[in-house]
Amino acid sequence: MKAYPYGSQHWIRYILVLFLMAPLPVAGQVQEATLENGLTVLALEDHSSPLVSIQICYHVGIKNDRPGFTGLSQVARAVVLGGTANYKKGEYDRIIQGGGGKTKSYISRDLTCFSASFSSGYTDTVLFMISDFMQNIDMTYEKLVVAREKIRKDRLAHVESWIYGPLNEEIFGLAYGVHPYRNPRYGWPSDVAALSVDDVKKFLRAFYQPSNAVMVLVGDFKTDKLTERLGKLFGSIYSSAPLPSRIPKEPRHRGERRAILEGTSDIPVSIVAHNMCRATDDDMPTLRVLHRILADSESSRVFRRLVTEDKLAIAAGGNSLEMEDPGLMVHYAILNYGVSVEDGEAALLEEIERIKNEYVTDAEIEKAKNRIEAEYYRNGRSLAQKSARIAEFQIIYGGWQMIDRQVS
């Protein structure tokens, strides 16, 4: 395998746990168009049901927060969800949900996405509302106060009040010394409290514009008529050229980084993490198979060793964090009461060393490939999954055309 700037042989050990939302991959004849203002539109007709799913993703995420301004991306998303002068907070959701649909938004380290799924008869109404919120974000001090309070509560619920909450921040802080992937998901409280209206306005102007966005539509519509309507609703929205990326590269690590966290739980947790390549690098397909052999199921090597055979842990597994810039491969063990973190760490490291020094069997490779293929189809059945997959691959993986390569 290639040597990356992070150094695949340099790894990080700590006593942590991590949970990750996995990417969702799709196949089909996607029609692509770019409006004059730079908005990329991807449409996939699917007449299997009278439904439509729309996904709007901006190429901005937690990594675009700066030192002293952590949490800004979360606050900006909350402000966008706070409504416009034409549609007050909650009206957008109420109209769509009143027609039997649903809405969702999320932010990752690379993306910020807003989605809606609804009856195809609501398509024109929803498109009109989306065009309104894309160009009429109503930024006020009152909305900033509400957004800051929401982020404060989110951090309280998902970080400070959760038994393993602080560990997620610790893992990224250890893994990235320079790259802004190290930024905490909900920002540091002092940074969020200090954000001003002008800070948020500048962030919105820089990133929430058509030239930095991808709109994906999947469902029951005629593409030619839809494209014409999109041009009228979205083509005139002002957009400037995207800002050049100034994300610093993580330097090569000189050795392991370690942290020991003490908390209120008597259940110890051991984690071993390795820096790995970008989502688009040639080694990623191999790493996907490697991840599934090591820690993807109850029949994986890590689970069998620590849970089934040695009875060291009550749960064991791992996650492969595929991101736009070099990500992480993480393996963890939630240990049995009385088992030391040193014993859990040693067992994890032994399994990782074993896969480096022993041949992987044909049966293990075949099982891993089968799981990847099964997930490809299982996780791409709904219109919402398809639209999310297309948007993510368009931005992170170099184009929606790369989707089918997941199983090829």
For residue range 263-277, list pLDDT tens digits in order: 777 788 999 999 999
Whether the pLDDT of residue 21 is over 50: the answer is no
Whether the pLDDT of residue 13 is over 60: the answer is no
**Each residue of 47-63: pLDDT tens digit?**
999 999 999 999 999 99
Could you tell me the CA-to-CA distances from 255 to 11, 14, 182 in Å, in that order? 7, 13, 18
Measured CA to CA, the distance from residue 163 to residue 50 in angstroms comes to 43
Q: What's the rounded mean pLDDT across residues 340-369?
A: 92
Q: How many CB atoms lie within 10 A of CB 52?
A: 25
Model confidence band, residue 17 (pLDDT cutoffs 50, 70, 90): very low
**Each residue of 124-174: pLDDT tens digit?**
999 999 999 999 988 999 999 999 999 999 999 999 888 778 888 899 999
**Per-residue confidence (pLDDT) for residue 5, from 0 to 100:** 37
Burial class from Cβ neighbours inside 10 Å (0-12, 13-18, 19+) for residue 185 reads buried
Model confidence band, residue 194 (pLDDT cutoffs 50, 70, 90): very high
Measured CA to CA, the distance from residue 73 to residue 254 in angstroms comes to 31
**Cβ-proximal residues to 127 (8 Å cutoff; 6+ apart), any chain:** 54, 229, 230, 233
Tell me if 372 sits within 8 A of 290, measured CB to CB: no
**Each residue of 99-112: pLDDT tens digit?**
899 999 999 999 99
Whether the pLDDT of residue 313 is over 50: the answer is yes
The whole-chain average pLDDT of the chain stands at 89
Model confidence band, residue 23 (pLDDT cutoffs 50, 70, 90): very low
Measured CA to CA, the distance from residue 48 to residue 380 in angstroms comes to 14
DSSP state at residue 241: P
Q: What's the rounded mean pLDDT across residues 59-84?
A: 95
Question: Is residue 339 helix, strand or coil?
Answer: coil
Could you tell me the CA-to-CA distances from 138 to 55, 89, 144 in Å, in that order? 21, 10, 10
Whether the pLDDT of residue 285 is over 80: the answer is yes
Strand residues in 241-384 grouped as ranges (E): 258-259, 269-275, 313-321, 328-335
Whether the pLDDT of residue 25 is over 90: the answer is no
**Per-residue confidence (pLDDT) for residue 205, from 0 to 100:** 92
**Per-residue confidence (pLDDT) for residue 408, from 0 to 100:** 65
Q: Which of 71-80, 158-167, 193-202 has the lowest mean pLDDT?
A: 158-167
SS3 content of the chain, % helix, strand, coil (to 5): 45, 20, 40
Residues 101-133 as b/e (b if ≥16 CB within 10 A, e otherwise) read: bebeeebbbbbbbbbbbbbeebbeebbebbbbb
DSSP string for 174-237: HH-SSSGGGS-TT--HHHHHH--HHHHHHHHHHHSSGGGEEEEEEESS-HHHHHHHHHHHHTTS
49 or 404, higher pLDDT = 49
